[in-house]
Amino acid sequence: MPSALPSLILASSSVYRQQLLGKLQLPFSSHSPDIDETALPNECAEALVLRLAEQKARALSHLYPRSLIIGSDQVCVNPVSINQAGVNQSQILGKPHTLTNARAQLLAASGQRITFYTGLAVYDAAKLQMRSLVEPFSVVFRTLSEAQVDRYLEREPALDCAGAFKCEGLGISLFKRMEGRDPNALVGLPLIALVDLLAECGVQVP
């Protein structure tokens, strides 16, 4: 008789990630990891999201020692942000949390190509094996007026989303085009890559 597959744990309290993982029709539980998500000095976006995704997955291993634990983290990068000295430099953008920050993020993204980096990790707690990667996805914004940004935020204040928009909602109207292999990555959980990592762990979907 084949052994039962390990249980699946999503190391996140995000409703968006829970909804995405639900698409795969696998039974899973969710548990929020308690970690410090502060970036390290001079840490690039890819290194940051990969480290945090792995850290989130490992953080729950003592609670679920026989499970496959999924961790994910995301930031977006605006390559033409202006620093206080007036010099162009890329800027890592996280969740805006306030309307003021959300408005500033969207106005800075106007007419720009913004790249999202999503770190994805699957930790086999029983075997102490980590599988992880970074999935990029880019969006090219329309040229947005202040009035357009304000109207969008009145209707859909995406304060808990990196980049200050929800592509699965009205936020799609802000884009000229999308570039990447998996639009789910933009929401926060790259399912195509996740299916690959789960297969390496012996979980076949479908």
> Does the annotation mark 73 as catalytic?
yes
Residue 99 in tokens: 């309307």
Residue 20 in tokens: 């995405």
Exposure on the CB side of residue 3, measured as CA atoms within 13 A: 6
| 3 state SS for 83-101 | CCCCCEEEEEECCCCCHHH
Q: Which one of 73, 124, 160, 196 is the catalytic residue?
A: 73
Q: What is the rounded distance in angstroms from the CA atom of residue 134 to the CA atom of residue 50?
A: 6
Q: Running DSSP on this structure, what letter comes out for residue 9?
A: E
So which residues are the catalytic ones? 73
